[in-house]
Amino acid sequence: MPSRCDDGAVRVGLDRRAFLACAGGLATAALTSGSAQTPGAKTRLILLGTGGGPRPRKANAASAQVIVIDGAAYVIDCGDGVARQLVSAGVPLATLRHVFITHQHSDHTADYGNLIWLGWTAGLRTRVDTWGPPPLERMTRLFFEMNAADIETRIADEGRVPLAPLVHAHEVTAAGLVFQDEHVKVTAALVRHPPVVPSFGYRFDAADRSIVISGDTAPSDALIALARGADVLVHDTLYPAGVDRLVASVANAATLKQSILSHHTTAEDAGRVAKAAGVKTLVLSHLVPPDDPAITDQMWIDAARIHFRGTIVVGKDLLEL
């Protein structure tokens, strides 16, 4: 079936590639050039979950991204379904090397342990380093303790390597350099996501491109500084008019609305941040509301476009950039 992009162009189907063509077309309409994907980039960025909030949904998975460099997978955030999303993206679970958690909210952490545990059943037998705010070390230890019956059975029954010794959790408590290896340097900024402290955004500087993941944040000067000149900024995004509909069905509507508005960034402000940081591509992700059909891709883009003239992409699960 032909699909109509929001710029009026008709394209056949609306798979990931076609969507990117739409998004690129929109950018191109306002710019002289525009493809979200860096030509020849060896460092791959795949959006695994682009909806905001922990409620399981049909429309999209909870927050997660993967950066793949020379076959090593660096996963950022572990929302519901992250292991399955990696498989759907064609990234072997056994290539998992590092996991980064931006902050301790369940839409970013629910499948943290499950990712490693299920990856191990899929053949993961090499070291995994994990990074994130406290209590990451305790979470890691208790997760293996909680699932010891299965883990010990599989070691004895299936001849698997012991799992817990593979996993090295590192608690991140301050901004600055997180770590560096032969592929990438990772730097953190403290962002504004009260009452969750600390909450981090992470920057990945690889040989061929730089990618910043905002985590959840209200507009943040620290994030602007972190993202300065980056190729890609994946930013938390809110569409204010949709929040009333989002909270309408819950008993704690007023409190939830205030919470959402106070610690996220509107699409318009995400454009403002992208402009201030001078990034090339802004990816709107952690969409709030995550599944409101009344908010079209064009509406998200138009809001960010008020301030930002670079390429704008509305995040879709399994979209590669």
| Nearest-approach distance from CB 236 to Zn ion, in angstroms | 8
- For β-strands 167-171 and 128-132, DSSP reports them as parallel
- Judged by beta carbon, residue 184 or residue 212, the one nearer Zn ion is 212
- Judged by beta carbon, residue 173 or residue 296, the one nearer Zn ion is 173
In 3D space, the residue among 290, 235, 214 whose CA is nearest the CA of residue 60 turns out to be 290
| Nearest-approach distance from CB 7 to Zn ion, in angstroms | 32
- Kindly write out the interface string for residues 52-91 of this chain, putting x where it contacts Zn ion by CB under 5 A and - elsewhere: ----------------------------------------
Stretch that binds Zn ion, among 28-36, 64-72, 215-223, 253-261 (CB under 5 A): 215-223
- Kindly write out the interface string for residues 173-212 of this chain, putting x where it contacts Zn ion by CB under 5 A and - elsewhere: ----------------------------------------
| Nearest-approach distance from CB 312 to Zn ion, in angstroms | 22
Check residue 216 for interaction with Zn ion (CB under 5 A): yes
Check residue 105 for interaction with Zn ion (CB under 5 A): yes
Q: Phi first, then psi: what are they for 52, rounded to 5°?
A: -95, 140
| Nearest-approach distance from CB 104 to Zn ion, in angstroms | 8
Q: How many residues bind Zn ion (CB under 5 A)?
A: 2
**Which residues in this chain contact Zn ion in the complex, by CB under 5 A?**
105, 216
